[in-house]
Structure 1
Amino acid sequence: MQHITGEVWQQLSSAYPSHHALFRATFKHINERYGSTGRHYHNMEHLGQMLTLLAQVRDKVKDPDSLAFAIYFHDIVYKAGSNDNEEKSAAEAAQFLQQLGFSPADIRKVTGWINATKAHQNPDNDPDLNYLLDIDLGILGAPLLSYVEYTRQIRQEYSMFPDLLYNPGRKKVLKHFLNMPFIYKTAAFQQLFEQQARENITWEIGTL
């Protein structure tokens, strides 16, 4: 997965030949952040998985490059249990995109997408945001063995909480997903992952 994160970043940078130094420094920063201690799931592997899924639906996305930037930055600030990870991540994205010369409107679009990964809501039904939110939840529909590993990694990230606190909170989140008419917002992801995601979540609830 490390390969695709560097490959896609290089493709993005090719559109900004006068900003290669900025891209090099920022990719180093991305690697340092996503590779920091305590990141068992929200790491470079997670980025690679998301970029792989983006590649599969790229022809359905209106602004795939901006969506890719949102993916790279969406968890650049991550502390388990913190309430402002997305806001801080969006602020870093805004600073980077401003240096690239993005318009204020396009910066607001990308930062809005990043902030939306907090509650996974899309009240304006922005089609590109629907894909970002589905890509972020792609792991829920992974084969069961991969999903089991994901649950272990998430538990490690929240290891500061005892089971007495963690299990009820996790169960509440999972039941919320099951109670939704669809976990995924796009037809493509519903077809690919909806059934498996519901089976995985039901399995995990049974373990808590």
Structure 2
Amino acid sequence: MKLQERFKNLLITIGFNASEVNTLWFDLHDVYSTKSRYYHNLNHLKEMIVLYDEYNLELEFPNEVLFSIFYHDYVYKVTRKDNELKSAEYALSILPSITTLNKQLVFDMICATKNHQHNKIEDINWLIDFDLKILSKNWEDYKMYCSQIRKEYKIYPNILYKPGRKKALQHFLENQTIYQTQEFKTKYESIARNNIKAEINAL
């Protein structure tokens, strides 16, 4: 199913009027398609939704997770440190007053994609892992990801970018685990750590 159809079906399911859905889709599409988004774009959403479909039966709140996927990077500016908070606030602001979604859970889910820390709510851990799956791709795909992130931060010269990127990557390595679900830890943890170490060495 196409991304647009998934979006529309979800919104109608959770309480939106059909008349609102097209406008919201075109808004979402335009935001994620801006020229400055080399990685945090519609393709990133598609890759997360592939994982969502694969592990859907593990989720207690699948609609909250899917809605959070669509809006978790709605606000994305490399000069800001509150992108996730602003994305979460926006996501809640557009929800209808009567919705089947747990609004607080949606807010917490989107905010959790900032620090990627383990959460007592397992669905938040799944969302975090979907978001970070790129870190465990094969090396060629990982290098492509690195290049895309560098382009998103192109306003910064290497003398600023490299130390900042290294600090962010070290943060992942310093955590007890990168991934929060047992499934992802088992399958992808070691690959992700090796990729991150290799990127640090290349900076």
Bin for the TM-score computed over the shorter chain: over 0.9
What is aligned with 1:120? Answer: 116
What is aligned with 1:70? Answer: 68
What amino acid is aligned across from residue 191 of structure 1 in structure 2? T
Among 171, 175, 178, which residue is 1:180 paired with? 175
What amino acid is aligned across from residue 162 of structure 1 in structure 2? P
Distance 2:16 2:107 in 1: 23
What amino acid is aligned across from residue 155 of structure 1 in structure 2? R
Distance 2:99 2:81 in 1: 27
Among 148, 156, 161, which residue is 2:151 paired with? 156
List aligned pairs for 1:7-156, cutoff 5 A.
Answer: 7-15=5-13, 19-97=17-95, 99=96, 101-102=98-99, 106-122=102-118, 124-156=119-151
What is aligned with 1:170? Answer: 165
Which 10-residue stretch deviates more, 149-158 or 166-175?
166-175
Q: Deviations over 1:94-130 (max 9, x none)?
A: 0222x16237x811110111112112224x5210100
Distance 2:121 2:64 in 1: 13
Which 10-residue stretch deviates more, 186-195 or 154-163?
186-195
- Aligned partners of 2:14 and 2:99 also within 8 Å: no
What amino acid is aligned across from residue 111 of structure 1 in structure 2? F
What amino acid is aligned across from residue 18 of structure 2 in structure 1? H
Distance 1:86 1:182 in 2: 21
Q: Which runs of 5+ in 1 are unaligned?
A: none
Identity %: 36
Decide whether aligned partners of structure 1 residues 18 and 26 sit closer, same or farther in structure 2, where only a CA change above 3 A counts: closer
Distance 1:95 1:18 in 2: 13
Q: Deviations over 1:126-180 (max 9, x none)?
A: 1010011111101001111111000000000001111111111111111221222
Q: Which runs of 5+ in 2 are unaligned?
A: none
Q: Deviations over 1:55-96 (max 9, x none)?
A: 111110101111000010111111113112112211221022
Distance 1:101 1:95 in 2: 12
Query: What do you get for the CA RMSD once the two structures are aligned?
Result: 1.8
Among 194, 197, 200, which residue is 1:199 paired with? 194
Distance 1:17 1:169 in 2: 42
Q: Deviations over 1:21-47 (max 9, x none)?
A: 222211111100000120111000111
Distance 1:155 1:167 in 2: 9
Distance 1:67 1:17 in 2: 16
- Aligned partners of 1:74 and 1:117 also within 8 Å: yes
- Aligned partners of 1:16 and 1:100 also within 8 Å: no
Which 10-residue stretch deviates more, 156-165 or 174-183?
174-183
